[in-house]
Amino acid sequence: MTTLLSLPPPSSSSHCFSTAFSSCHQPSVVVTTGRPARFLPVAATTTTTHHHQQIDKSSLTVAEAAEEDQLWAAACLRVRSFYDFQLSSYGIQDHKRYLAEREFVALKERIAGKREDFKRVSCINATLPLSQLSSSASDLCAACKFTSNGEDRVVVGTLDLNQCLWLPEEIAGTKPEGIEAEYRRAYLSNVCVARELHRNGLGYDIVAKSKIVAEKWGITDLYVHVAVDNEPAKNLYLKSGFIHENDEPAWQARFLDRPRRILLWIGFPCTNES
């Protein structure tokens, strides 16, 4: 993988555990297509071998993100996770920044309620102090660093919790039915963990936090889409309590030129939104 430059937020990052928002085809190597896309593509396969650092979780924070520099760091982690870059590609740094800026703007708009059909969206990040990460994670630190209360921290895992009836270009859940579905159904998306820190249980941590936030919102039915051949993702969700609900039709996967998805579901007791 090519080394990312440190990218400051604009003015105005394997195994990926979930499908990401997508209106473009899944690449094995990222190339500039010359056409805009609304969302990040699904995870691309990479054959790069990485050393997995074991971390001290006592300094781990998993929480909803609101500040722009942390949202920018999350956008950069998603670019690292959902794309595989070819070292010889021309203008690769500019393309990485374009992808990060696109996700950063879209993420801010979703959180601010400016995207149609989304009732509420939250970005949930796992972060560690910069000082806790080894030199083998220097690329991660450069790309996904932010400052909070005077401390340099790094986004090492991220996902979106989306309160909505369906996600674009994905099969919809069936629970609950009726008028309550608009307010009590939610989906996880853009779930990823820095590849340098796999095998630390960070995926479980951010999914667990998303369930807490979902119940706080009054969500009773939480869904996630995952590629049928993504065994690490399926294992994560099944161990987190999700069960199989539906399969994407083969024709839809062929039409969208991507691996077929399955839809997983978990239910919560009905609670009042706080």
Considering only CA atoms, which of 18, 16, 15 is closest in space to residue 226? 18
Considering only CA atoms, which of 95, 90, 2, 120 is closest in space to residue 41? 95
Which listed residue (83, 183, 223, 237) is catalytic? 237
- The CA-CA-CA angle for residues 54, 56, 61, to 5°, reads 115
Contacts of 22-27 spanning 24+ positions with Cβ under 8 A = 22/168, 22/169, 22/256, 22/258, 23/168, 23/169, 25/256, 25/257, 25/258, 26/257, 26/258, 26/259, 27/83, 27/84
Considering only CA atoms, which of 262, 251, 252 is closest in space to residue 228? 262
| Active-site annotation holds for 204 | no
Rounded to whole angstroms, the Cα distance separating 229 from 259 reads: 8
- Residue 140's φ and ψ, nearest 5 degrees, are -60, -45
Positions annotated as catalytic residues are: 237
